[in-house]
């Protein structure tokens, strides 16, 4: 990932659910390019923020052994537009995880107001599907998880036991 459409996680329950926030700022370049003199955060970037929230939740469950990508957006309903100064709260709930990928449901809120609802499917990429090209490195994943505070607030599925940094990150 080169662009981050979440600022941090506020809840992270391994393989189950996550909550992340995105502060919408007039300082972001896309706010000036989308609609002249009417800055809003484009819905496509909200979809990407929710996908990042859910995709990292799915990836962490497998200790990043599987590369996760958004495979299908089956539902996206928007009720209002995010404006500068708004804080988007993305809430993601895993519906299933299996050997081929995962499915999530999600919502986006602006304060207490429902902003959008989503259903998404994720697929696992196999490194050999892309020849010699490495799509993501363990350093990339480690950077994301630490910058988004996953190991500061994350818990096991019981919602109480803190998750630990996986062995794959300890030697990087």
User: What is the pTM (predicted TM-score) of this model?
Assistant: 0.93
Q: To which H or E segment does residue 138 belong?
A: helix 138-147
pLDDT above 80 for 51: yes
The pLDDT, as a whole number, for residue 129 is 65
Which two structure tokens, joined as six digits, stand for 20?
Answer: 């992340």
Catalytic residue among 34, 43, 109, 143: 34
At 10-44, the pLDDT tens digits run 999 999 999 999 999 999 888 877 777 889 999 99
Q: Alpha-carbon distance 167 to 35, whole Å? A: 46
The count of other CB atoms within 10 Å of the CB of residue 47 is 20
Domains of the chain: 8-167 (3.10.129.10)
Catalytic residue at 34? yes
pLDDT above 50 for 1: no
């Amino acid at each position: 990932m080169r662009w981050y459409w979440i600022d941090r996680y506020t809840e992270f329950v391994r393989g189950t659910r996550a909550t992340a926030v995105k502060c919408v700022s007039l300082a972001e370049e896309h706010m000036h390019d989308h609609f002249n003199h009417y800055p809003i955060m484009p819905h496509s970037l909200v979809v990407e923020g929710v996908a990042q929230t859910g995709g990292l939740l799915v990836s962490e469950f497998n200790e990043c052994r599987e590369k996760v990508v958004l495979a299908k957006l089956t539902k996206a309903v928007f009720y209002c537009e995010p404006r500068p100064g708004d804080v988007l709260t993305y809430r993601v709930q895993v519906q299933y995880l299996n050997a081929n990928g995962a499915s999530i449901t999600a919502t986006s809120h602006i304060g207490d107001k429902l902003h959008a609802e989503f259903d998404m499917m994720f697929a696992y990429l196999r490194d050999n599907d892309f020849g010699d090209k490495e799509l993501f490195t363990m350093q990339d994943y480690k950077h994301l998880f630490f910058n988004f505070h996953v190991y500061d607030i994350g818990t096991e599925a019981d919602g109480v036991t803190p998750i630990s940094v996986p062995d794959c990150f300890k030697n990087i």
